[in-house]
Amino acid sequence: MAREFTRSRRVGEQMQRELALLIQQELKDPRLGMITVSGVEVARDFAHAKVFVTVLSDDPAQVAQSLEGLRHAAGFLRRELGRRMQLRSIPELHFTHDTSVERGSRLSALIDQAVAADGTKKDD
């Protein structure tokens, strides 16, 4: 039976917490907007980590600009993670825009519209 919490998952969760703090407190890049680290997937060999981020902006240009700023700061973030985490090697960071929050809010709005439309039909 496989363990419920694998080591790569635990490392990913710790990386998520540390990256959120580092991005919020240490990065001063003007390209970065309001960024939230929504998840980290670490490869089984700990060579790569996919960092999912959400950007508080509807503008695709702002999202691209924020991702570019994060990619530019990846070396700094990796070095700081090495100082804060006790691992032999820190995975290479790959930043990806997470659209699940946007999709969730869009679906929620559609459900609210359908409920409101259903309520008006019952009144008629």
Instruction: Check residue 48 and give its pLDDT.
Output: 94
Which helix (H) or strand (E) segment holds residue 81: the answer is helix 74-84
Mean pLDDT of the chain: 87
Domain 7-99 CATH superfamily: K homology (KH) domain (3.30.300.20)
> What distance in Å separates the CA atoms of residue 93 and residue 75, rounded to the nearest whole number?
8
The full set of domain ranges for the chain reads 7-99
Q: Which of 71, 40, 35, 38 is nearest to 56 (CA)?
A: 35
Q: Give, in order, the Cα–Cα distances in Å from 91 to each of 30, 62, 64.
A: 26, 26, 23
Instruction: Check residue 124 and give its pLDDT.
Output: 60
pLDDT digits (tens, 9 = 90+) for 35-55: 999 999 999 888 999 999 998
pLDDT at 122 over 80: no
Instruction: Check residue 68 and give its pLDDT.
Output: 94
Contact 40, 12 (CB under 8 A): yes
pLDDT digits (tens, 9 = 90+) for 69-92: 999 999 999 999 999 988 888 999
